[in-house]
Structures are given as C-alpha cells and as structure tokens.
Amino acid sequence: MESMAGSTRGAGSRKYIRPVHVTPRPPTIPGLTLAGPLGQGGFGTVFLARQDRLHRDVAVKVDNRVLQTDRDRDRFLREARAAARLSGHPHVVNVYDAGVTADGRPYIVMELCTGGSLADVLAQRGRLPIPEVTEMGARLADALAQAHQVGILHRDIKPANILVNAFGAVKLADFGLAAILDAHAESTVTVGALSPYYAAPEVFAHAAPSAAGDIYSLAATLYTLATGSRPRDIPWPAQSLDGLIAALRAPVAPIPDAPPAFNAALLNALASDSSRRTTDARQLRDELDGLRPIRPLPHVATNRARGARIAAAAVAVPALVAAGFFGSTLTSPEQQAQQQQPPQTQSTPQAAAVPPGMTACAESEKNGFCVADKCFGGLVNIADLDIKAKPLDCGGEHSWQAFTGTWLPTGAQDMTGTDLAASPEVKGICTAEVMAARTRPGADTSGWQITILPSKTGSPDRLYLYCLARPGEGEPPDGSAFATG
C-alpha cells in the first residue's frame, strides 16, 4: 500500500508545514488501536488499526509533516471533508475520519482494502485481459468524473493508488491527498513529487494540476494494465532536457490485440498535447462503457431513466461493428425513416439540396442548415481521421447536441478533423454566434463547447457535417436546446 501522496514546495512557499523525520511507530489516536505499519514512504506511514467501538479493521495514514497553526489544521480538515464527499462512490476508497495527532501530524482513517493494489495484481498476474481492463477503466473513470464534478482532483493516479477490496472491487485511493496537504500553498507541484511514468507531460513544465492531467494518468494506468508496459518510456531521472521532451512527445503505440475503439479511447486520453486530449472523464467512461456487453436493466418510466437505459445498452465491439457504429454511417430513427422513403422522393431537388436530417431555414446559406433534435453520445476520434458518435434520444442522457450543419467540399473524406474544422465551409458556421442564433428562446448556451461530427448517413456520395455543442460543465439538458429555424 502506498504512503500518503503529497507534493514538495519551494522554500519560500513552505509556510504552514514543517517536515520532520519520524520512526514508523503508531501514534495515539482516540477510538483506534493502531498495530504495525502496512507501508511507508517519503511523506508518511500507513498503519493497520482497529476501530474500538465497531470492532472494524481500518487503515490509517499518518503524515510526517506537522501543521503549525490552528488555521492550518482547520484548512486540512476542511479539505479532508471535501474529499470524504466521494466516499459513497463504489469505486473510491471510503474515508471514515480525519484529524491531527497530539504532535500536529495530520491523519486520515479509511477503508482497509485487503486485496492489495493493482500494482500488486500486475506483478502477480502480468498484463490483464482487455475486457477486464475495460471494466475497471469504465468504473474508475466514473469515479473520476464524480470527483471532477465537485471540484476535486486526484493528482496521482497510478496502479499503486488503485486498491482492491475484499469483494474484488477496484477503488481509487489517496483521493486528493496531495491537494488536502498542499491546497493553500502558492506554487504548483514540483517535478520531484510526481509519479513520472503516469504524470501528464504538461506537469513536467510545472503546469497547474487539472482534470486533463487526471485523465491522462488514468489512461496511462489502464494502458499499463493491458500491456504490462508503460505508454511512454520516460527517462527518469532525466539526463537531458531534450531527451525528456522527446520522450514526452513520443507517439503511443496502439495495443496490437486490442479492439480499435479501445485503442482510440486510450490514445485520445494519452495525447501529449492537453488541448487535443480527452478532457472530460465522462467521455472516457462512456467510450469504455460502449465496449462492454449489454446488461439488463429494470423497467423505468421517466425520460431521464429511459435515456440512461439507451446510453447503457452499449454492445460489445462485434455487435457495434455489425450495427455500423464503426462503419461509414450513423443512423438515427429519423434518418432510418428517411432512407425508407421511395427512391423518387429522395431524388427530388429539395432532398439533394439539403443534407439528410436537416432542413433549409432562414439564413441557411450563411449559418448552415437547421437541425431538429439531433443528439449524440461521446465522440470516438481515431487518429483525427475517423470521428464517430452514437445517435441518442435528446429526451434522455446524451453528451452532444447538434445546432447546425452543412455539406462538406469534395475531398473532405481525406481531411483530418482538425483540417475540417478549419475549412471555410465549417469555420464560418460552427461558431458561438451561430449557436446563439439557433438557441431556443429561454435556453442559455453561453460558454458551451463546440466540436464537429462528419457523417455520410443517407448520403453515400457526399459528406456532410454536424456542428455539436455541450455545456462546459455539467450534463446537457433534457431535450434539444436548439430551435429549427
């Protein structure tokens, strides 16, 4: 079991903690009987303990550093309470209590996970089967999404910080401990404190911790579990800056025997450039969930639950391929109905002039065609050359909503997603101004993220494109936020 994670600071910012050297002896904590150490590291010791009243075995992490003032102790407890809000998640290690010892050292009482860490599992079993890693990844990404939603970062995801409880469930441990102990210092985490093989490249440049960094670390962990090796060979300690930079920018090799969509999910989350990386843990969760077999769900009646059932009914990769999910088409119920119309109807001038699933509307030439209630799940972007998304009911859970669309020029099928977004046909309509113009009265889409989704559904000879949007934070609202004219 890992020691308490933390970060070191420059001498000028190390104002509220003082490093001390202690022997791994159990401190006195009211209500607990501490036994010997379970593990020890640079910042503290993990002890096995017994809760006296409940007769329950727990783990206690005691930091070596001393909190100097009452204000610092209050801050620590406030941050610990914030991290404890995640304890109800089935894939986060439960935090039972926190406090400060008589000599000023902070401690956290948490769930004892008897199955060791995934680092132990990897050492014992070697690389794990892809379906097992997919299942773990989806559950851990969900835990990470919940943490990010309430403003908590992990900052040190790696196999050693994912524990296995007595029932075999994987759980993120040390959630936010670096932030708890260093939340009020003024500088960012130093390079000496990171786990270099799982840290995002931007962290080496002293960038502030971010959700994108957490996602990179989780993807690096899943890649390691699936291959037995790390995604990038980081020279550490680094012998030269040039060598380190080259290693951090090196492309990640796809996993040879993994499904293409699994590789796409991990490689997008492992992009060295954070601006091109998967930045939402919910998207990574949804992509991994889409690779898992259907699970029967109880009957429910609400629109939200119905949408959840649609989103959860993702099928295994062979079924997705058979359904055309990874092929050249995306088919919604409206598009299916359109494709079933008599051939003469589809060949009319009006049908040829408007992309399938869209309508001509005011200022179509300037702002693109109108789109009626088109919603999609998480995007799958394979090497910026193949962008797909599953159509979903706008009345249920979904990730993206279409607000306009347009035909693409000849040769667009050979363009990357980045090039398409920069083309004149797209650049002028996939904008915040057009999105605002298409927003329904009473809805607020200010600050929404915008992306693109090329498609050939219903138009095998000509490529067209949707402009998609979603809130910068939180879930998209039920129903489309955009009007049709």
Residue 228 sits at φ, ψ, to 5 deg, of: 80, 0
Which of 79, 78, 81 lies closest to 95 in space, CA to CA?
Answer: 81
DSSP letter for each residue of 173-237: -STTHHHHHHTT-SSPPPGGGS-TTTS-GGGGGTPPP-HHHHHHHHHHHHHHHHHSS-SS---SS
Cis-peptide into 235, omega within 30 deg? no
Rounded to whole angstroms, how far apart are CA atoms 65 and 385? 50
Rounded to whole angstroms, how far apart are CA atoms 480 and 254? 36
Rounded to whole angstroms, how far apart are CA atoms 71 and 76? 9
Task: Establish whether 71 is a catalytic residue.
Answer: no
Rounded to whole angstroms, how far apart are CA atoms 174 and 467? 39
Q: What is the dihedral of CA 275, 276, 282, 288, to 10 degrees?
A: -160
Residue pair 1/37 in contact (Cβ under 8 Å)? The answer is no
Q: Is 61 annotated as a binding residue?
A: yes
Q: Tell me how far apart the 2 most distant CA atoms of the chain are, in Å.
A: 85
Q: Which helix (H) or strand (E) holds 18?
A: strand 17-18
Rounded to whole angstroms, how far apart are CA atoms 292 and 484? 35
- Tell the residue number behind the tokens 């955009």, with chain if given: 482
Residue pair 80/72 in contact (Cβ under 8 Å)? The answer is no
Rounded to whole angstroms, how far apart are CA atoms 114 and 100? 25
The catalytically annotated residue of 105, 155, 232, 277 is 155
Amino acid residing at 22: V
Rounded to whole angstroms, how far apart are CA atoms 159 and 223? 11
CA atoms within 13 Å, Cβ hemisphere of 186? 6
Amino acid residing at 128: L
CA 373 → CA 304, 391, 483, distances in Å? 16, 11, 8
Rounded to whole angstroms, how far apart are CA atoms 446 and 204? 33
The token pair that represents 197 in the structure block: 């093989």
Q: What is the CA radius of gyration of the chain?
A: 25
Rounded to whole angstroms, how far apart are CA atoms 274 and 5? 24
Rounded to whole angstroms, how far apart are CA atoms 177 and 108? 9
Catalytic residues: 155
Detail the residues annotated as belonging to a binding site.
Answer: 61
